[in-house]
């Protein structure tokens, strides 16, 4: 979601003000988000797929770079750094030191998005199947007999199996 916010924050003002920008570099400390942004947008579940597709329409995937988490001052608040330390530190105001250098000297971590270990294989990403059946337990109502298999505790147990291809209860 942070990558999408960054893409929108840069794209919309540029478009509204008709600015001619020669190059823009985007950074994320999330290697998973970067792997998704660099992968094919037509894979994955709808929520993630739609976000990746929008990011790729707004921003060229090659313009994304990895920023190590230790160098990301935006991440410090989630780590519990006191506001007084943020204000006193130069990295909060100016960013990491390497950012002032030439882009060729910035930390670089490139992976092939088609073979990234951070993105599960296609069949695992699109599958909505659970490897385990759902088990429902009901306590019998007083004075009423329950149908179904009785466990040793007298509770009714139903096991729902799901047809993985059609995703409907099998009716067993």
Confidence check: pLDDT of 128 > 60: no
Assess contact for 65 and 25: CB atoms under 8 A: yes
Measured in degrees and rounded to the nearest 5, phi and psi for residue 26 equal: -110, 145
> Mean pLDDT across the chain, nearest whole number?
73
Measured in degrees and rounded to the nearest 5, phi and psi for residue 85 equal: -70, -35
Distance CA 56, CA 46 (A): 15
Distance CA 119, CA 154 (A): 45
Q: Length of the chain in residues, anyone?
A: 172
Please tell me the predicted confidence (pLDDT) of residue 8.
94
Domain definitions of the chain by residue range: 2-122, 134-169
Q: What is the pLDDT of residues 102-123, one digit of tens each?
A: 888 887 775 554 555 555 555 4
Residue with tokens 């992976």: 111
Confidence of residue 172 (pLDDT cuts 50, 70, 90): low
Average pLDDT of 35-58?
86
Strand partners of residue 156: 138, 150
Residues 6+ apart with CB under 8 A from 31: 66, 109, 111, 118
Name the pTM for this structure.
0.57
Distance CA 134, CA 116 (A): 32
Please tell me the least confidently modeled range out of 4-8, 16-20, 37-41.
37-41
Confidence check: pLDDT of 52 > 60: yes
What value does the CA radius of gyration of the chain take, rounded to a whole number of Å?
25
Q: What is the pLDDT of residues 61-77, one digit of tens each?
A: 999 988 888 888 878 87
Distance CA 116, CA 61 (A): 15
Q: What is the DSSP letter of 39?
A: S
Please tell me the predicted confidence (pLDDT) of residue 75.
80
Average pLDDT of 70-91?
83
């Amino acid at each position: 979601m942070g990558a999408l916010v960054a893409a929108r924050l840069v794209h919309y003002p540029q478009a509204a003000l008709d600015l001619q920008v020669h190059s823009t570099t985007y950074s994320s400390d999330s290697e998973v988000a970067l792997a998704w942004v660099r992968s094919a947008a037509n894979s994955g579940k709808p929520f993630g797929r739609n976000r990746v597709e929008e990011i790729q329409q707004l921003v060229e995937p090659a313009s994304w770079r990895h920023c190590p988490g230790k160098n990301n001052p935006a991440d410090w608040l989630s780590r519990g750094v006191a506001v007084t330390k943020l204000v006193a530190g130069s990295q909060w105001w100016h960013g990491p030191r390497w950012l002032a250098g030439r882009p060729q000297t910035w930390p670089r971590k490139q992976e092939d998005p088609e073979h990234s270990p951070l993105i599960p294989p296609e069949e695992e990403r699109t599958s909505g199947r659970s490897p385990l059946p759902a088990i429902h337990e009901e306590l019998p109502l007083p004075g009423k007999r329950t149908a179904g298999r009785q466990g040793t505790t007298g509770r009714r147990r139903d096991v729902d199996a799901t047809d993985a291809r059609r995703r409907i209860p099998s009716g067993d």
